[in-house]
């Protein structure tokens, strides 16, 4: 059963026109030139290369598409006098017919079951593809994040940026890293940047010395520095153990007139002699020791300051970036130790007799040098990469995909589970589908073998002859010409020429349609018995055969619409009267079995529009609909205006149509083209106005309106044009 037809890039179908149906009977109405013949020609010859943009969905391999159109008539009647015989089952062999009918019913049941399996398999595939698409979208984030602009790792995606599926299958094909990764994407970016352009080697970092061990181990720190013991005040100072205090107080003594105020008791107790005795206590030896301590302090401060700055400069080295946190910890420890040591040295300067010791810094220095060793390893590796740039880039690429495989492991595991479940379910469905297909072949073989036993071409020819008589045609008939070659011939008394070419258009249509009906019942070959037939009938009436319209309509109703013999029916017509005759009047039955369509054409091409029963109008009303649409072709609008006037003035108002255009109001130059096209001899020669060059829609419509107004039918015009 056909569910969808797509017409595109052929004749009037300039863009894609979609036809959707789920009904057995499909009635399509369209004026001449809207694309009916193109549609039926496509269905008549689906595999013709010129229809490569057109598609049909829903057809099964066992379905047979039978199309009645002008090409069918041409192929079966014009080209040769030999008409193919039609094989049908003989009525006498009821037992064989029962076997065949049972086998056909079995085939229909099996086809229904197979169709359900096909649908289930397709739904399963769609579900799997939807899930896979979601996984692919997730993985596609790799492309959006690492490609474009100045992203240095984009080269890792070469050949994988075009399609989501390609990138996805690449990462799925990779093995999960066996060990924990010790590098990051940022590390790879840094390495890749370093390899860009004219990359140069980097010097290794020199280890720090922090040479303060001489200061830390100086004996002066543990020495109690005191003054000259020969001095007269030495015994007192040593007894009081206040040499540091006295030494500091000397700077506050100021002699005036041989006396000075004591900085301690604030009395004029200090004389020149006493001052010289005190100064003599702090002799040259004392001062040298103190000066050496000051030197130790200054040297320690200088070394620590310089080395501290040196260590801080390591942060400017990109290879130290990953160790900055560790470096900051070491710097904090150095700051703490050196600050305390400087404080202790300053105390020693102030109080030389104090014993002090300094905290060792070599352990912290060792930690920093360990970091330097690590950095130097990386620098050497980097320098090796510079020496072999391409290998280094390949190593980065390999590491990049290891990171990606690790990061997307959850997605890949979900996909593999989904794929496994799909393959198991799909395999089971394919087994069931194959079994149904084998069962169908068995039943088809039963049909083929039994059909050969009981087919002939007699019944079909008798039915055609009877149909001709029923319609009232007796001037010619059809006879069996050859049993061996299975042929018919048309026959007219006292004539041996090609009878078909001498028939009227109406007679040609009738005989060809009766033959088509019998062909739908039977086959042209004994071994070609079909199980599902889809019938397409393209405009079986014309303006020259109105006498047969009722008969043709009755035949279509009896042979196609009111029978269960056929899978699906399509009827195309240009006549709204005939369209209405084929439409089911009962609302519920029509809703269940029929779909109604209008085939329209404008400047953008042909298209299918689903119709409601209430929308069916007569031809006269349809012509008015056309002229109200300025997107229709000029030829069609002009022809519809001509048909309306001819119908209204000649048949309704009984006026001479030609006299209407003699009115002076219509003699203006701008109405000349309108008058010329309205006064064609016959509207049936539509091709005569396909060469319109002067068509102006506004002028034509104004003149068209003026005709009705000057003849006194303004109200009729206003009613129809609204």
d(CA 705, CA 718): 9
Strands in 487-491's sheet, in edge-to-edge order, are 83-84, 487-491, 477-482
pLDDT category at 472 given cuts 50, 70, 90 is low
Phi, psi of 181 (to 5 degrees): -80, 135
Which one, of 526, 447, 535, 571, lies nearest residue 111 by Cα? 447
**Cα radius of gyration rounded to whole Å, the chain:** 54
Tokens of 399: 């590491």
Residue 716, number of CB atoms within 10 A of its CB: 14
Reply yes or no on whether the pLDDT at 683 is more than 60: no
Beta bridge partners of 26: 570, 595
Q: How confident is the model over 627-675, as pLDDT tens digits?
A: 888 877 677 788 788 878 877 776 665 566 667 777 888 888 888 888 8
pLDDT at 711 (0 to 100): 83
Please spell the DSSP secondary structure of 532-584, one letter per residue: EEEEEEE----TT-GGGHHHHHHHHIIIIIT-SS-SEEEEEES-HHHHHHHS-
Q: Which two tokens stand for residue 711?
A: 């003849």
Quote the pLDDT of residue 574. 84
User: Considering the chain, what percentage of its residues have pLDDT values greater than 90?
Assistant: 26
Q: Which residue has the tokens 């030139």?
A: 33
For the cut 70, the answer to whether the pLDDT of residue 26 exceeds it is yes
- pLDDT for residue 197: 66
User: Which pLDDT tens digit goes with each residue over 517-568?
Assistant: 888 887 766 655 566 789 999 988 764 455 566 678 778 888 888 888 888 9
d(CA 29, CA 580): 10
- pLDDT one-digit tens code per residue, 269-309: 666 656 665 555 555 667 788 888 888 899 989 988 888 88
Concatenated DSSP letters of 232-282: TTHHHHHHHT-HHHHHHHGGG---BTTEE--TTT-SS-EEHHHHHHHHHHS
**Residues 578-581: contacts with CB within 8 Å, 24+ apart?**
578/541, 578/549, 578/553, 579/27, 579/29, 579/616, 580/616, 581/549, 581/553
Q: What is the DSSP letter of 11?
A: T
Tell me the mean pLDDT in the region 431-439: 90
Mean pLDDT of 80-86: 66
Lateral strand order in the sheet of 25-29:
63-68, 532-538, 568-573, 25-29, 594-602, 605-611
Q: Report CA 722 to chain centroid distance, whole Å.
A: 45
Please determine, for residue 679, whether its predicted confidence score (pLDDT) is greater than 90: no
Neighbours of 443 (CB within 10 A): 20
**445 has pLDDT over 90:** no
- Using alpha carbons only, give the angle 347, 352, 358 rounded to the nearest 5 degrees: 50
């Amino acid at each position: 059963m056909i569910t969808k037809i797509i017409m595109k890039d052929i004749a009037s179908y300039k863009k894609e026109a979609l036809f959707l149906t789920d009904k057995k009977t499909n009635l399509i109405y369209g004026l001449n030139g809207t694309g009916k013949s193109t549609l039926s020609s496509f269905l008549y010859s689906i595999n013709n290369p010129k229809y490569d943009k057109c598609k049909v969905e829903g057809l099964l391999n066992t379905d047979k598409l039978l199309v009645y159109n002008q090409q069918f008539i041409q192929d079966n009647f014009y080209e040769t006098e030999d008409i193919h015989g039609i094989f049908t089952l003989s009525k006498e062999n009821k037992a064989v017919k029962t076997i065949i009918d049972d086998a056909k019913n079995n085939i229909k049941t099996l086809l229904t079951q197979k169709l359900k399996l096909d649908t289930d398999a397709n739904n399963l595939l769609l579900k799997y593809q939807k899930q896979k698409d979601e996984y692919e979208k997730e993985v596609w984030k790799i492309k959006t994040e690492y490609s474009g602009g100045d992203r240095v790792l984009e080269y890792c995606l070469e050949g994988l940026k075009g399609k989501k599926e390609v990138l996805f299958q690449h990462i799925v094909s990779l093995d999960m890293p066996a060990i924990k990764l010790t590098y990051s994407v940022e590390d790879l970016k840094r390495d890749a940047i370093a390899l860009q352009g004219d990359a140069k080697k980097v010097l290794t970092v020199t280890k720090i010395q922090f040479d303060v061990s001489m200061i830390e181990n100086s004996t002066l720190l543990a020495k109690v520095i005191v003054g000259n013991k020969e001095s007269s005040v030495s015994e007192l100072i040593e007894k009081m153990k206040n040499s540091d205090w006295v030494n500091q107080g000397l700077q506050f003594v100021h002699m005036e007139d041989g006396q000075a105020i004591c900085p301690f008791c604030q009395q004029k107790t200090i004389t020149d002699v006493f001052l010289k005795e005190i100064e003599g206590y702090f002799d040259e030896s004392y001062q040298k020791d103190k000066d050496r301590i000051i030197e130790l302090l200054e040297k320690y401060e200088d070394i620590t300051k310089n080395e501290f700055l040196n260590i801080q400069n390591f942060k400017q080295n990109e290879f130290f970036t990953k160790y900055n946190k560790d470096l900051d910890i070491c710097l904090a420890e150095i700051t703490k130790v050196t600050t305390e040591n400087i404080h202790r040295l300053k105390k020693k300067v102030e109080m030389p007799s104090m014993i002090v010791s300094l905290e060792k810094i070599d352990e912290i220095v060792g930690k920093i040098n360990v970091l330097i060793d690590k950095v130097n390893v990386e620098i050497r590796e980097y320098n090796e990469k510079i020496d072999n740039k391409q290998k280094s880039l390949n190593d980065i690429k390999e590491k990049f995909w290891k990171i990606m495989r690790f990061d997307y492991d959850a997605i890949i595991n979900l996909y593999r589970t989904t794929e496994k479940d799909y393959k198991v379910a799909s395999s089971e469905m394919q087994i069931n589908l194959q079994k149904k297909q084998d069962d169908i072949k068995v039943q088809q073989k039963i049909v083929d073998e039994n059909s050969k036993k009981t087919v002939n071409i007699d019944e079909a020819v008798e039915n055609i002859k009877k149909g001709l008589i029923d319609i009232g045609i007796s001037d010619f008939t059809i006879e069996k010409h050859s049993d061996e070659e299975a042929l018919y011939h048309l026959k007219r008394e006292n004539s041996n020429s090609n009878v078909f070419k001498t028939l009227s258009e109406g007679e040609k249509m009738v005989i060809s349609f009766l033959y088509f009906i019998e062909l739908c019942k039977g086959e042209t070959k004994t071994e070609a018995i079909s199980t599902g037939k889809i019938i397409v009938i393209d405009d079986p009436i014309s303006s020259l055969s109105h006498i047969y319209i009722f008969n043709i309509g009755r035949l279509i109703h009896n042979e196609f619409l009111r029978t269960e013999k056929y899978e699906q029916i399509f009827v195309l017509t240009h006549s709204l009267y005939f369209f209405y005759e084929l439409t089911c009047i009962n609302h519920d039955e029509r809703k269940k079995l029929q779909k109604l369509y209008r085939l329209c054409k404008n400047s953008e091409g042909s298209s299918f529009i689903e119709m409601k029963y209430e929308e069916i109008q007569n031809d006269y009303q349809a012509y008015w609909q056309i002229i109200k649409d300025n997107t229709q072709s000029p030829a069609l609008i002009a022809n519809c205006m001509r048909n309306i006037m001819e119908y209204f003035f000649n048949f309704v108002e009984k006026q001479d149509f030609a006299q209407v255009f003699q009115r002076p109001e219509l003699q203006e130059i701008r109405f000349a083209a309108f008058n010329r096209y309205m006064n064609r001899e016959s509207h049936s020669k539509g091709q005569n106005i396909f060469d319109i060059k002067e068509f102006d829609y506004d002028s034509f419509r104004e003149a068209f309106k003026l005709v009705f107004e000057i003849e006194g039918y303004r109200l009729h015009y206003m009613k129809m044009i609204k």
